[in-house]
Amino acid sequence: MRAALVGVGQAGGKLTEALVRNDRENGHGAVQGALAVNTASQDLTPLDVETVLVGQNHVKGDGVGGDNELGAKIMQEDSTEVVNALDGVITSRTEGVFVVAGLGGGTGSGGAPVLVRELKRIYDIPIYCLGILPGRSEGALYQANAGRSLKTVVREADNTILVDNDAWHDSGQSVTDAYAAINDTIAQRLGLLLASGESTDGVAESVVDSSEIINTLRNGSMAAIGYANAEASPDAGDNINVITSTARKALLTGMSVPETVEADAALVVVAGHPDRIPRKGVERARRWIEGETGSTQVRGGDYPVDSDQLAVLVVLSGITRSQRIQDFLDRASEAAKTDPQPDPSSAFQNDELDDLF
């Protein structure tokens, strides 16, 4: 899938850079262009992508300090500048745009929903959000900001792919190391998803193209991505159980939003050497995912790569029944009620999260 990336805020910019790097290193050619947008100049300087500094009239390059209403206001005022900078990043070949943001900070949580809405007004292609939920230890303001931002961006985007920061945070890691590892993990998964519809090293028996991705994400407001891999036997017949067991691991322990199984639609991609991928294994994995998710809209296919391993990528769309997401919203609601800071997240307790702008 030929995609353009727009990172908003510090976390969004760093993850966008990781996605671009993953695409280049693996030779996928799926990321057609990328841009990072921020109100803090120091967060843009180290990034190896095109950048735009917004909000100079308000914060003079110093960031919004967690104020997501100010982040939304700045993006509204400077959206023309951002859209102009996207000329050449979004082209006639682009099949989808991913607005990438951490939903807990000020610029990302406030600016991403505004930018999604503006891009949907201009472009006749899917506009997605790749949103990062703050971990439990990241503070009340981040929880409340993310709750409000999530409710708003889900309304605006064609789909919001969620990543729970607690999903892949190993105990004992520093915050900096944890975020870097999480970014690489997300980049690996989304990179494989985007690449699955592009040119490959072999011929797939059942092609996963851009339309499969778009149709899967069309069925639902929120999505999650799971992944697992395993050593493959040179004999394809010996890999039937390998594929099904790896699919189980991807769904049950490898999702970007843990404890998420039920979905309205799903996509299963099996990646590996064409001679090692059994058609029967791919079909069994698809049927198992269908039974676990309760969805009759489970698409599947294979993605040929030159590797001794087999990997299974699972995309679940329409995950609104996820207990993990409900727990996060409860946590965000409680944070908004108890946070003593006079911040705009106070609207959460009145269920006005959708009034971010």
DSSP codes, 25-67? HHT---EEEEEEEESBHHHHTT-SSEEEE--HHHHTTB--TT-
- Do 198 and 2 touch, CB atoms closer than 8 A? yes
The rounded percent of the chain whose pLDDT value lies above 90 is 79
Tokens linked to 245: 């067991």
Q: Do the domain assignments include residue 216?
A: no
**How far is it, in rounded angstroms, from Cα 54 to Cα 82?**
8
Q: In this predicted structure, what is the pLDDT of residue 177?
A: 73
Mean confidence (pLDDT) of the chain: 90
> Angle, nearest 10°, between helix axes 140-156 and 106-122?
0
- Nearest Cα neighbor of 224 from 270, 169, 167 is 167
> Do 181 and 296 sit in the same domain of this protein?
no
> Do 88 and 230 sit in the same domain of this protein?
no
Q: Do the domain assignments include residue 207?
A: no
Residue 321 pLDDT > 90: no
> Do 152 and 258 sit in the same domain of this protein?
no
Residue 356 pLDDT > 80: no
Tokens linked to 212: 């499969």
SS3 107: helix
> Do 260 and 312 sit in the same domain of this protein?
yes
> Do 332 and 310 sit in the same domain of this protein?
no
> Do 308 and 328 sit in the same domain of this protein?
no
Residue 165 pLDDT > 70: yes
- Do 55 and 41 touch, CB atoms closer than 8 A? no
Q: DSSP labels for 250-310? A: HHHH-BSSTT----SEEEEEEEE-GGG--HHHHHHHHHHHHHHHT-S-EEEEEEE-S-SEE
First to last CA, the chain: 31
Q: In this predicted structure, what is the pLDDT of residue 349?
A: 39
Q: In this predicted structure, what is the pLDDT of residue 85?
A: 97
> Do 189 and 260 sit in the same domain of this protein?
no
**How far is it, in rounded angstroms, from Cα 100 to Cα 163?**
11
Exposure class string for 200-215: b at 16+ Cβ within 10 A, else e:
beeebebebebebbbe
> Do 23 and 162 sit in the same domain of this protein?
yes
**How far is it, in rounded angstroms, from Cα 233 to Cα 230?**
10
Residue 140 pLDDT > 70: yes
**How far is it, in rounded angstroms, from Cα 162 to Cα 224?**
6
Tokens linked to 148: 């409000």
CATH of the domain at 284: 3.30.1330.20
Sign of torsion over alpha carbons 267, 272, 274, 275: negative
CATH of the domain at 122: 3.40.50.1440
Residue 113 pLDDT > 80: yes
Q: Model confidence at 205, in pLDDT bands (50, 70, 90)?
A: low
Give the tens place of pLDDT for each residue, 252-292. Answer: 999 999 999 999 999 999 999 999 999 999 999 999 999 99
Which of the pair, 196 or 230, is modelled with greater confidence?
Answer: 230
Burial of 92 (0-12, 13-18, 19+ CB in 10 A): exposed
Residue 162 pLDDT > 70: yes
Number of domains in the chain: 2
Q: Do the domain assignments include residue 215?
A: no
> Do 280 and 313 sit in the same domain of this protein?
yes
> Do 115 and 263 sit in the same domain of this protein?
no
Q: Do the domain assignments include residue 249?
A: yes
Q: How many CB atoms lie within 10 A of CB 145?
A: 35
> Do 310 and 175 sit in the same domain of this protein?
no
Q: Model confidence at 342, in pLDDT bands (50, 70, 90)?
A: very low
**How far is it, in rounded angstroms, from Cα 175 to Cα 103?**
17
Q: In this predicted structure, what is the pLDDT of residue 336?
A: 85
**How far is it, in rounded angstroms, from Cα 98 to Cα 50?**
15
Give the tens place of pLDDT for each residue, 73-111. Answer: 999 999 999 999 999 999 999 999 999 999 999 999 999
Give the tens place of pLDDT for each residue, 33-53. Answer: 999 999 999 999 999 999 999
Task: State which residues form the domain around 280.
Answer: 224-317
Q: Do the domain assignments include residue 206?
A: no
Q: Which ranges of 128-239 would DSSP assign to H, the alpha helix? A: 140-156, 175-195, 210-218
> Do 40 and 182 sit in the same domain of this protein?
yes
Q: What is the pTM of this model?
A: 0.92
Arithmetic mean of pLDDT, 335-343: 62
